[in-house]
Amino acid sequence: MPQSPITITAAEVIDLRVPTSDQMLGSDPFHKAPDYSSAVLHLETNTGLRGVSVVFTIGAGTDWMCHGIRDLCQLVIGTTLDEFTDSPFQLYRRLIDHHQLRWLHDGVFRMAAGAVLNAIWDLWAKSLNQPLWKLLVDLEPEFVADCIDWRNLGDALTREEAINLLQARRAKVSEREAAMAERGPKAYCTAGWLGLSDEEILITIRKLQAEGFDAFKLKVGQDSEADVQRIRFMRDAIGSDAQLMVDANQFWGLTEAKQHVEQYRPFNLKWVEEPIARDEVLGYVELAETFADASFDFACGEQAASPVIFKQLLKSGAIKYCQIDAVRVAGVNDVMAIILMAAKYDVPVCPHGGGIALCNMIQHYGMWDQIAVAGHSNTQLVEYIDFLQDAVERPVDVRDGCYVTPSAPGWGLEFRSEFIAQHSYPEGDVWKNRPADKKGVTFEAR
């Protein structure tokens, strides 16, 4: 008797918020007091399997994402997993090129589309009882190419180039897979959040060093003197051999960025992240030229809203570290395109982590890239955040400064039901008795 196909029967979208602003974790010059949050999507099926994804947010606005995701889910309820796996591009295109919703642009709309796609990719991997990276590694090069929207990318990377690139890595995939089963992607961590004192930063560094980390990031964007002082403090604390990166979270205009970054030359930094606005392609081109002789290069991507923005940054040579995010663009389909473009231009993929369970997702991209696309682990760093690990049943793990290769099926993103009950907004325990000025949309950073 043939099994009935896996069919999506319902969607649950949860507004999940954690009052991280109380500890000032995650703070930077723009996002002064984030409450790390997620729009969590559960796609239920007739089989008990559940597709899970998240869109990371930082408090207010999570409900905007939930609204959009709920709307899009109407389009997949009743469809089967087979329809998706026959051609993941078909659903991608129907969402992203939706003839009316497309008007909403990137941002909320593209992220909501990504949530739906990512949850179905999760379902697919779970139906195979495989972690997502393994599903991706095993896909035929032609199939990967067929998942991608080439409309706006062909001047940087053609479908044929992508297939050839993946094909060229095939001979060593088994070897790379075995190597990475021993030692996952190399990780780095932000020790210097903007809201933390030097003493707090030092404690964090020592803790991370004890876990094997030797690559650290520091937030900048205060006054120039204070920033330089903090960089010097960090460099002294970690020693001259450790890797040090700084992150301005888009706080400066181009002119100002040049002035600030000029002061950073003496500290042997690896990268300067988001010195300018997320969509300022020509500014990145100019920065790369201005600082061509510096020790550092430029990095960005966590808020790059589309593969087209990534294409320009990569093709022009403006960025030398490609910081994909797992939930900013439209899911696996978009991210595969970006990772392939990065490989063509020989730019290391250094995914953006943080938030709630984002690291659970990005580790799969690090695996896929380092096994099957770049095909090496020589230059990449995958971000790692050591808090909010209690949100999920299978927290990410690091050993000797590297991710422990994920083995849970799918993204490995199952939330603990108690965590959801406590943090659901606004009815969860941590929110329902919180004063009004510390929740919802208010003007002041809290």
Q: Which residues bind its own copies (CB under 8 A)?
A: 30-35, 57-61, 63-65, 67-68, 71-72, 74-75, 94, 97-111, 150-155, 252-256, 276-283, 303, 305-306, 308-309, 311-312, 315-316, 328, 440-443, 445
Say if residue 307 is preceded by a cis peptide, omega within 30 of 0: no
Instruction: Give the DSSP per-residue string, 372-401.
Output: IIS---SS--EEE--S-GGGBSS---EETT
Give the Cα separation of 21 and 377 in Å (integer).
Answer: 35
Which is closer to its own copies, CB of 214 or CB of 279?
A: 279
Of 334, 325, 322, the residue nearest 121 (C-alpha)? 334
Strand pairing category for 297-300 and 187-192: unpaired
Shortest reach from residue 52's CB to its own copies, in Å: 21
Give burial (CB, 10 Å; 0-12/13-18/19+) of 234.
Answer: buried
User: For its own copies, which is the closer residue by CB, 199 or 444?
Assistant: 444
Query: From CA 137, how far away is CA 336, in angstroms rounded?
Result: 11
CB 215 to its own copies: min, Å: 25
Partners of 382 in the β-ladder: 187
Nearer to its own copies, 33 or 137 (CB): 33
User: What CA–CA distances, in Å, run from 30 to 26, 164, 247?
Assistant: 11, 42, 12
Q: Which is nearer to its own copies, 163 or 180 (CB)?
A: 163
Question: What are the residues whose beta carbons fall under 8 Å from the beta carbon of 387, sequence distance 6 or more?
Answer: 20, 25
CB of 7 to its own copies, least distance (A): 17
Q: What are phi and psi of 38, to 5 degrees?
A: -150, 140
Amino acid at 370: Q
The one catalytic residue among 126, 134, 270, 352:
352
Give the nearer residue to its own copies in terms of CB position, either 280 or 414: 280
CA torsion sign for 40, 44, 49, 51 is negative
Considering the complex, state which of residue 5 and residue 253 has its C-beta at the smaller distance from its own copies.
253
Token digits for 145?
């190419």
Q: Which is nearer to its own copies, 103 or 240 (CB)?
A: 103
- From the list 126, 134, 186, 219, the catalytic residue is 219
- Residues 6 or more apart whose CB falls under 8 angstroms from that of 267 comprise 231, 232, 235, 244, 295
75 CA to centre of own chain: 25
CB of 276 to its own copies, least distance (A): 7
Q: Which is nearer to its own copies, 101 or 413 (by Cβ)?
A: 101
219 is a catalytic site residue:
yes
Three-state DSSP string of 225-254: HHHHHHHHHHHHHHCCCCEEEEECCCCCCH
Nearest to 51 by CA among 30, 29, 77, 75: 77
By annotation, the residues acting in catalysis are 219, 352
